[in-house]
A and B are shown apart, each in its own frame.
Chain A
Amino acid sequence: MLSNKRVIESPSSSEAEQSSAKENTVKRVKKNSPVKAEKDEKVKEKKIHPMFLPKQQISQDKEDKRLVREEVAATASSKSNASSKTNNFNDTITFAQLADTFTNIESTSKRLEIADHLTQFYKHVILTKPAELLMTVYLSLNRLCPDYEGLELGIGEGLLIKAIVESTGRTTAKVKEDFKKAGDLGTVAQLARKNQPTMFKAKGLNVPSVFKNLKEIATASGNQSQTKKIGIIMKMLTNCDSSTNEAKFLIRLLEGKLRIGLAERTVVVSLAHAIVLSRDEKATKEDLEKGVEVVKQVYSELPSYDMIVPALLDGGINDLQERCHLTPGIPLKPMLAKPTKAVSEVLDRFEGKSFTCEYKYDGERAQIHYHDGKVKVFSRNSEDMSNKYPDLVEQLPRAIKPGVKNFVIDSEAVAFDKQTKNILPFQELTRRKRKDVKVEDITVKVHIFAFDLLYFNDKPLLHEDLTYRRKLLSENFVQVEDEFAMAKSMEAQSTEEIGVFLEESVRDSCEGLMVKLNLGESAWYTPSKRSMNWLKLKKDYLAGAGDSLDLVVIGGYHGKGKRTNVYGAYLLACYDEDSESYQSICKIGTGFSEEMLEQHYKLLNPLEITVPKSYYKLGTAKPDVFFEPQAVWEVLTADLSLSPVYTAASGEISERGISLRFPRFIRVRDDKGAEDATTSDQVADMYRNQASAQQKATKADIDDDAY
């Protein structure tokens, strides 16, 4: 749609040029009419204020030539996306086009439609300006670089409000008021921009410059950095064309909250489709599906668009797997385990197969990469933790046998008391400082328990049996007392044996057991999948208390009586990856000591917001206050039930959502971000499991929730 505009506008300016000589006519780009009928447009075009001309005059020549070229281009490849062809693409992908795509995506909740919009857009980028595909992908993910590089924008609402105020001449109070009403700064900025146009028609933004500016903002540091940041933001805001949605999505990107219901897996699907279609317009459904599979698989091994996108552009789908594979230095998402509630359940699943039980240590997942003599440690979220664990980086080489060039180990980092030789609770580890830790200041030692080897001496091992991987691991690494060991394991066959081993693990301060298949394809390492081939057996679950979930605190209820001045109860939510929303799941008020309530109040009070975020699906729950989605709590529940009030996983089982019965607070999960909370898919799974357990029926296999 927006495409027509430019084309119509350019001749219009020349028309006005002529007329301005005779009579001083007037123009203002009417906000309501970029897409109106041509006649209508013509009438308005006469009203081009000569004031707007100087700039256009200069670019007039260029513009005309551009149009000619574009027409040629348009006829040459008339098949695809005719609407956007006419725009001036010889330059760059405009930000307005991206914003348009975002608008389309936001307006629907159907995943197929979303993927389709995005595929069309990506395809268009690939065909016209392939060099900008990577930036486009990053912008649609609201990221600047791979996760592990940890580059974040770090812009507060205050700064954005200031920029909006200064670039549109509004008052801070008014903008804040509008923000409260709308709940979204993007919309506020868009309206402000629309209501207060600039003297000359803004040129609009383009994808490369936005991306570059965002990166500049993220890397700005030092005492003048705030001023610098606001300068960049204002410059971009002034250049936003008010007839498009640029301002809205620019601000949302800056906030780091795009929130258009675009999940990363959809981006991956669209990327794969776009690549396939751009090479073969008539690609079959099978081709597309195969493409998606390949890209997903490669991305799970090498989660870096920096590498995948150029490789895709260069060689397409076919040789992607050869070009991109697991590489030390680039963290992959760890493989996850399905929770089970009874030893018998383990045997139900693994009966007759060879499997291994190993201790599930109560620590932090640590993926250790070693290459070129350097050690890097990544968290389960692929954050670089090397600075957090300098001692680990130092002590690890002692465990490596000679002849080892490079490797990737999956392990658990555990807090360890050297004197007593005891494993300390996980909390001891989180109490360590996160930044600028010096080796000599460390009191709590880190002990590594390695349990998997993913890459060894230039060879990815993901598609090898667990037995082989473990063999390599034990052959090439040595135990170092108090520092490095293999996770304790055993091969068990009977319920009794597993039971005994489980009790032993709990005595050794572990959370429980991990049970893994040994042989065959089901024993491969599948990154980011919560696989049926790995089961976790937690002591908590065995206590008969039910499931434990990690939930986000999104709302609070004012306390009464003893709990006056603190929150008396909280509203919790799970995360729905598909719609990027938080779905309410239960109200929780038990399991807190007075001291805890006090602490939670202190932590949560600053996060208080008066209006729920647009991406909170509350159902009919009505908490007194809402919070920014930040705090994640582990909560134990006796039972899951369908609820008319809450929205968790609604649509999965029935129209009603799922709620927790007798939820109990266990602990704060500050190692998890809000988006790492238990997902609604998992909640639905739990409900299904429970239902089938109740019916004493054999459990239906549930699809893995992978990309």
Chain B
Amino acid sequence: MLEARMSEAGTLKKVLDAVRDLISDANWECNEDGISLQAMDNSHVALVTVHLSQDAFEPYRCDRNMPLGINLGSLTKVIKCAKDNDLVTLKADDSGESLGLTFESSNTDRIGEYSIKLLDIDQEHLGIPTTQYDSVISMPSAEFQRICRDLSQLGESIRVEASKEGIRFSVEGDVGKASVLLKQSSGRGIEREEESEEEEEEEEEEDDDEDVKPNVDDEDNDDVKPKDKKRKSAKGGNKKKKAKKAKKEVVEDGVSISLQQQVSLTFSLKYLNNFTRSTPLSSRVTLSLSKDIPLLLEYEFGAGHIKYFLAPKIGDEDAE
């Protein structure tokens, strides 16, 4: 039997928005730690895991581990019936037949009760090992979203290169090519360096952006500075600690790169764009890259986290 109550329905909405385009049906595994989901997308190219920690619920009660097989489309429809600041209570009994959702409005006496039939989904659990990545980049999620969106105008694959210089995103297409370089933040927030060799309109667009961007960055700069320094000094030390630290620094605008080795990988932008639907959940995103293994894209938020894995593309050049 599961009973879990969350103070804001909005979080749940955002989580669903972040995964429902990637997967249609999935098992939500409930156990004493919380509720989590793991599934590959239809094409088996990407994998997503969602974890909602039991801390995010008050109260949280789960007597025994149980999978809730749910069609995410249906769940989205139901969740849409709640207002963002409604209290949500999830309930499922041991029969495993349905999931009950109760939406309580905080300022009125409205109580909505919904229930969704559960599905029997045959899904093998795929163990995801912890990996030490060649480079880990933490950056503002909005910036990442923007890069993916912008560059997908030009081509279907994005090349991500992490080096001492910074992290470079580049794309090549019929119209032209483009690349965006984000330097490791030191004094300033983000240093965006854009090169673009496309034709007319695109070029202008990019130029406009450049004019605006630095101003925005400067505002936050002062707050960021000390933290950035700290992080740098911690660089040589234990990696894991460092990573955790970075996540705890909540609102910041900088780019931090921890580099063991230079990496250059190519990914399908279609999937990345899909992943950036998690942007509303968290202001930061972490990219972990290693040669020849799937990219890990991580969004941490108060109630838990979403991790996306994406298999890199290979041999684009010699194939064509």
Are A53 and B45 neighbours in the complex by a CB distance under 8 Å? no
Query: Taking the nearest CB of chain B, how far is it from the CB of A174, in angstroms?
Result: 5
The chain A residue sitting closest to B42, CB to CB, is A234
**B128 within 8 Å of A (CB atoms):** yes
**A611 within 8 Å of B (CB atoms):** no
- A188-196, A520-528, A625-633: which one contacts chain B? A188-196
- A43-51, A286-294, A486-494, A503-511: which one contacts chain B? A43-51
Q: Which residues of chain B have C-beta atoms less than 8 A from A49's C-beta?
A: 131, 292-294
**For chain B residues 98-136, which have a beta carbon within 8 Å of chain A?**
124-132
Complex alpha-carbon distance, A504 and B279, angstroms: 86
**Quick one: CB contact mask for A159-178 with B, threshold 8 Å, 1 for yes?**
00000001111110010000
Complex alpha-carbon distance, A194 and B315, angstroms: 8
**A108 within 8 Å of B (CB atoms):** no
| Given contacts A24-B131, A169-B45, A195-B315, A51 and B270 within 8 Å (CB-CB) | no
| Given contacts A26-B290, A54-B126, A55-B124, A31 and B315 within 8 Å (CB-CB) | yes
| Given contacts A49-B293, A166-B42, A198-B44, A54 and B127 within 8 Å (CB-CB) | yes
Are A26 and B291 neighbours in the complex by a CB distance under 8 Å? yes
Complex alpha-carbon distance, A191 and B43, angstroms: 15
Band of interface residues on B: 35 or more
**Quick one: CB contact mask for B305-320 with A, threshold 8 Å, 1 for yes?**
0000111111110011
Find B311's partner among A20, A166, A198 (CB 8 Å cutoff): A198
Are A194 and B129 neighbours in the complex by a CB distance under 8 Å? no
Find B270's partner among A58, A170, A199, A234 (CB 8 Å cutoff): A170
**For chain A residues 179-236, which have a beta carbon within 8 Å of chain B?**
191, 194-200, 202, 234
Are A199 and B319 neighbours in the complex by a CB distance under 8 Å? no
Are A168 and B291 neighbours in the complex by a CB distance under 8 Å? no
**B40 within 8 Å of A (CB atoms):** yes
**B203 within 8 Å of A (CB atoms):** no
Query: Taking the nearest CB of chain A, how far is it from the CB of B59, in angstroms?
Result: 34
Q: Which residues of chain B have C-beta atoms less than 8 A from A58's C-beta?
A: 124
Q: Which residues of chain A have C-beta atoms less than 8 A from B18's C-beta?
A: none
In the complex, which of the residues B42, B156, B312 has the most CB atoms of chain A within 10 Å of its own CB atom?
A: B156
Complex alpha-carbon distance, A195 and B291, angstroms: 15
Are B293 and A26 neighbours in the complex by a CB distance under 8 Å? yes
Q: Which residues of chain B have C-beta atoms less than 8 A from A196's C-beta?
A: 45, 268, 311, 313
Are A55 and B311 neighbours in the complex by a CB distance under 8 Å? no
**B169 within 8 Å of A (CB atoms):** no
| Given contacts A169-B45, A170-B268, A47 and B309 within 8 Å (CB-CB) | no
Are B156 and A51 neighbours in the complex by a CB distance under 8 Å? no
Q: Which residues of chain A have C-beta atoms less than 8 A from B292's C-beta?
A: 26-28, 47, 49
Complex alpha-carbon distance, A489 and B320, angstroms: 65
**For chain B residues 196-216, which have a beta carbon within 8 Å of chain A?**
none
Query: Taking the nearest CB of chain B, how far is it from the CB of A645, in angstroms?
Result: 33
In the complex, which of the residues A50, A51, A237 has the most CB atoms of chain B within 10 Å of its own CB atom?
A: A51
Band of interface residues on A: 20 to 34
Query: Taking the nearest CB of chain B, how far is it from the CB of A110, in angstroms?
Result: 29
**Quick one: CB contact mask for A1-45 with B, threshold 8 Å, 1 for yes?**
000000000000000000010001011100110000000000000
**A238 within 8 Å of B (CB atoms):** yes
The chain B residue sitting closest to A44, CB to CB, is B292
Complex alpha-carbon distance, A416 and B145, angstroms: 72
Are A191 and B319 neighbours in the complex by a CB distance under 8 Å? yes
Query: Taking the nearest CB of chain B, how far is it from the CB of A486, in angstroms?
Result: 62
Are A198 and B156 neighbours in the complex by a CB distance under 8 Å? no
The chain A residue sitting closest to B310, CB to CB, is A199
**B47 within 8 Å of A (CB atoms):** yes
Q: Which residues of chain A have C-beta atoms less than 8 A from B148's C-beta?
A: none
The chain B residue sitting closest to A239, CB to CB, is B44
The chain B residue sitting closest to A47, CB to CB, is B292
Find B126's partner among A27, A55, A168, A234 (CB 8 Å cutoff): A55
| Given contacts A166-B43, A199-B47, A238-B43, A50 and B131 within 8 Å (CB-CB) | yes
Are A31 and B293 neighbours in the complex by a CB distance under 8 Å? no
Q: Which residues of chain A have C-beta atoms less than 8 A from B320's C-beta?
A: 191
Are B293 and A51 neighbours in the complex by a CB distance under 8 Å? yes
Are A198 and B45 neighbours in the complex by a CB distance under 8 Å? yes
Complex alpha-carbon distance, A47 and B293, angstroms: 9
| Given contacts A50-B131, A51-B128, A174-B156, A199 and B44 within 8 Å (CB-CB) | yes
Q: Which residues of chain A have C-beta atoms less than 8 A from B156's C-beta?
A: 169-171, 174
Complex alpha-carbon distance, A168 and B313, angstroms: 10
**For chain B residues 240-291, which have a beta carbon within 8 Å of chain A?**
268, 270-271, 290-291
Q: Which residues of chain B have C-beta atoms less than 8 A from A237's C-beta?
A: 43
Are A238 and B311 neighbours in the complex by a CB distance under 8 Å? no
Q: Which residues of chain B have C-beta atoms less than 8 A from A27's C-beta?
A: 292-293
Are B313 and A200 neighbours in the complex by a CB distance under 8 Å? no
Are B268 and A199 neighbours in the complex by a CB distance under 8 Å? no
Are B42 and A238 neighbours in the complex by a CB distance under 8 Å? yes
Q: Which residues of chain A have C-beta atoms less than 8 A from B46's C-beta?
A: 199
**Quick one: CB contact mask for B15-29 with A, threshold 8 Å, 1 for yes?**
000000000000000
Complex alpha-carbon distance, A49 and B156, angstroms: 26
Are A238 and B44 neighbours in the complex by a CB distance under 8 Å? yes
Q: Which residues of chain A have C-beta atoms less than 8 A from B293's C-beta?
A: 26-28, 49, 51
| Given contacts A50-B131, A51-B293, A199-B309, A28 and B314 within 8 Å (CB-CB) | yes
Q: Which residues of chain B have C-beta atoms less than 8 A from A174's C-beta?
A: 156
Sample of 19 A–B contacts (CB below 8 Å): A26-B131, A26-B290, A49-B131, A58-B124, A166-B42, A167-B43, A167-B45, A169-B271, A170-B270, A196-B45, A197-B45, A197-B312, A198-B45, A199-B40, A199-B45, A199-B46, A199-B309, A200-B40, A200-B44
Closest 8 CB pairs between A and B?
A: A169-B268, A28-B292, A50-B129, A198-B44, A54-B127, A167-B43, A169-B270, A49-B293
Contact residues of B with A, CB < 8 Å?
40, 42-47, 124-132, 156, 268, 270-271, 290-294, 309-316, 319-320
Q: A171-B270, A200-B126, A234-B43 are in contact. List 10 more A-B contacts (CB 8 A).
A: A20-B129, A49-B294, A167-B42, A168-B268, A169-B271, A191-B319, A194-B315, A197-B314, A199-B40, A199-B44
